[in-house]
Amino acid sequence: MCSIIIPTFNNFHYLRLTIDSIKKNSNYNHEIIVHVNEGLDDTLSFLKKNNIVHTFSPKNLGLCSATNIASKKATTDFILYSHDDMYYCPGWDLALEREVNNLQHNLYYFSSTMIEQNSGHIAFDCGSTYENFNESKLLENYNKLNYYDYQGSHWAPHLIHRTLWDQINGFSQEFDPGIGSDPDLNMKLWKAGVRIFKGLNKFKVYHFGSISLRKKPELKVNKGTNTFLKKWGITPVFFTKHYLKGGLFSDNTISTMPYSGPLNEPKINLSYLVGKIICGLKFLKLIILKK
């Protein structure tokens, strides 16, 4: 059993769909903990009516702060961070259980395979909103939509052992409302000794496309790339490419490599050196322009 942490920001219909899918398609009775930002819709009444553990802030704190606050309510050994606009496909928790049981340590980061209408790891149209979501189509086909276990990370949803989560103090709140927080979390895990960054084919979710954060016009987004660069001296793209060997977006799809085992230190080659110089120049520009 794991503690599923879901920050939400006036996104009731998608949150309800996410929670319903977890309850319907899980093999275990997982702990669901929601942080409610503002709560101007029916979210709070829904959570109270269904006795779902939650925390609350009268204003939007951002994904990082909200997740950290909610995670303090966790009572299990595993933290699973989730967005509030995802449908969990059957078998997701069994896939994670198998991976965890195969290891004798807690230095890992497991993430999902993303199904989306027009992009993701798997492009398969089951609707673009909660209103036109075709659940039966997804359930009839998700097992046929094979990807592969892949190298790197696709951010959320992801599973981290609670001891490790506490060790790195969860998300870094300077990245609120959220842009850049995922690669920063991965870098902190890397510094803590994690070398298993693995996406699981059998851990599938249907994603409605960044409803959680980017489709709210009133939300002022942060310059996460700049924050990451000033903190670590490299860009998130450089980190993903040279450290995580992870996926990048290309032609509206996610390009990844099959999982081949724990990662090693970055290979110092021409591509690495040129990229490092470019990162250095970008860092210098930030300092000069005081951005």
**Average pLDDT in the chain:** 91
Mean pLDDT of 96-124: 93
Higher pLDDT pick, 7 / 119: 7
> Other C-beta atoms within 10 Å of 227: how many?
20
CATH classification of 3-289, choosing from 3.30.230.10, 3.40.50.300, 1.25.40.10, 3.90.550.10?
A: 3.90.550.10
Each residue's pLDDT tens digit, 59-100:
999 999 999 999 999 999 999 999 999 999 999 999 999 999
pLDDT of residue 171: 96
CB 30 within 8 A of CB 2: yes
Helix (H, G, I), strand (E, B) or coil at 12: helix
In the DSSP assignment, the letter for residue 240 is I
pLDDT of residue 177: 87
CB 260 within 8 A of CB 148: no
pLDDT of residue 154: 78
Q: Cα separation of 126 and 115, whole Å?
A: 9
Q: In the structure encoding, which two tokens stand for residue 75, read together? A: 């009572």
CB 56 within 8 A of CB 36: yes
Q: In the structure encoding, which two tokens stand for residue 78, read together? A: 């595993």
pLDDT of residue 248: 60
How wide is the angle at C-alpha 51 spanned by C-alphas 45 and 54, nearest 5°?
75
Cα within 13 Å of Cα(198), Cβ side: 23
Residue 120's pLDDT band (boundaries 50, 70, 90)?
Answer: confident
The label of the residue with tokens 């920050």 reads 7
Residue 261's pLDDT band (boundaries 50, 70, 90)?
Answer: very high
Nearest alpha carbon to residue 185 among 198, 173, 199, 203 = 173
Which residues have a Cβ under 8 Å from the Cβ of 264 and sit 6 or more positions away?
195
pLDDT of residue 247: 63
Of the chain, the percentage scoring pLDDT greater than 70 comes to 93
Mean pLDDT of 215-226: 70
pLDDT of residue 164: 97
Which residues have a Cβ under 8 Å from the Cβ of 197 and sit 6 or more positions away?
109, 111, 151, 152, 153, 186, 189, 244, 246, 263
pLDDT of residue 214: 47
* The overall pTM is greater than 0.85: yes
Each residue's pLDDT tens digit, 154-213:
789 999 999 999 999 999 999 988 888 999 999 999 999 999 999 999 999 999 975 555
Higher pLDDT pick, 251 / 101: 101
CA 88 to chain CA mean position, Å: 13
Q: At what angle do helices 270-289 and 224-232 cross, to 10 degrees?
A: 110
| CA dihedral for 26, 31, 36, 40, sign (positive or negative) | positive
| Separation in Å, CA 217 to CA 198, 212, 220, 221, 243 | 33, 12, 8, 10, 34
Each residue's pLDDT tens digit, 269-287:
999 999 999 999 999 998 8
Instruction: Check whether 104 has a pLDDT greater than 70.
Output: yes
Nearest alpha carbon to residue 107 among 180, 173, 168 = 168
Residue 290's pLDDT band (boundaries 50, 70, 90)?
Answer: confident
Mean pLDDT of 138-167: 93
Each residue's pLDDT tens digit, 226-235:
999 999 999 9
Domain ranges of the chain: 3-289
